[in-house]
A and B are shown apart, each in its own frame.
Chain A
Amino acid sequence: MAQYVSQDKVGLMPPKPAKNDNALYFIGLLAWLIPGAGHWLLGQRQRAAVIFVTISTTFLLGLALGSIEMIDPQNAKAWFCAQILCGFWTVLVTLLQNHSITINDMFGRGVNIGQVYAGVAGLLNLLCILDALYRAQVSVTERGGP
């Protein structure tokens, strides 16, 4: 009895099974890679579809506004940190780029609103990743599995 009281006082939780931790990591990784995929795995299909369409549209609109060369990990590091949160979209665009020339050299101007669009899309995906992880964690603690 004294042992239980002691555990309650310090707020100790029983150790969770390792497979639940792995599931959380998997959900987080997939939610980063494909916007909305975390919610899709959790069975929230409508929510996932809305998230995927909105974030992808915002990112692609940014690309249309500023071209694929605006994703610039060398000269726009802060923006790139936000844009990389879009997962496979950013990775795909980075692979398709012409790395021998900067956007400034190519078009005679620097970054524009397209960079803001792509950055905001990434930050919105961060919100969705955190929400998917929270929902998965709640599912783990309430039912013992996501």
Chain B
Amino acid sequence: MPDLLLMALFTEPMDLPTRAISLLWVLPICLSVAVVYKAVKVEPFRPDVFARETGLLFVTIVGFLIVIALALLLVAYFVW
């Protein structure tokens, strides 16, 4: 039974609604980018330094995405 559930997880796509809440799916991918980039860059690799650097990069990426979203919102507001 658990193997069937596992198969079902990967054989049918999730139903993602096209609502604003779906924008939160950007967060896991930002976290992945931050973790892998810092795993490659941090020298020497120490868990505390790695965690701090990763958190900082994640916040920076999300912050810039928010700034870009606000800028695009302003453009849309003034153009239309």
B40-80: which residues lie under 8 A (CB-CB) from chain A?
Answer: 40, 45, 47, 50
Is there a chain A Cβ closer than 8 Å to B14's Cβ?
yes
For the residues of A in contact with B, the DSSP-based class is helix
Across-interface contacts of B12 in A (CB, < 8 A): 67, 107
**Leading 9 A-B pairs by shortest Cβ distance:** A58-B32, A67-B13, A124-B36, A50-B39, A131-B40, A54-B35, A63-B10, A47-B45, A66-B13
The answer to whether B13 touches A114, judged by C-beta atoms less than 8 angstroms apart, is yes
6 contacts between A and B (CB under 8 A): A55-B36, A65-B16, A66-B13, A112-B13, A121-B32, A128-B40
Is there a chain B Cβ closer than 8 Å to A68's Cβ?
yes
**A50 contact from B28, B33, B35, Cβ within 8 A:** B35
Contacts A61-B28, A64-B14, A113-B16; is A46 near B9 (CB within 8 Å)? no
CA distance A116 to B25 in the complex (A): 11
Least CB separation from A70: chain B residue: B13
**B29 contact from A64, A70, A103, A120, Cβ within 8 A:** A120
The answer to whether A58 touches B40, judged by C-beta atoms less than 8 angstroms apart, is no
CB distance from A15 to the nearest CB of B (A): 30
Is there a chain B Cβ closer than 8 Å to A33's Cβ?
no
Size band of the A side of the interface?
20 to 34
Residue from A51, A70, A103 whose CB has the most chain B CB atoms within 10 Å: A51
CA distance A58 to B40 in the complex (A): 17
Least CB separation from B39: chain A residue: A50
CB distance from B56 to the nearest CB of A (A): 16
CA distance A84 to B33 in the complex (A): 18
The answer to whether B40 touches A64, judged by C-beta atoms less than 8 angstroms apart, is no
Across-interface contacts of A121 in B (CB, < 8 A): 32
CB distance from B63 to the nearest CB of A (A): 19
CA distance A118 to B35 in the complex (A): 16
CA distance A68 to B11 in the complex (A): 6
Least CB separation from A98: chain B residue: B11
Q: What 1/0 flags go to A102-113 for Cβ under 8 Å of B?
A: 010001010011
Across-interface contacts of B28 in A (CB, < 8 A): 58, 61, 117
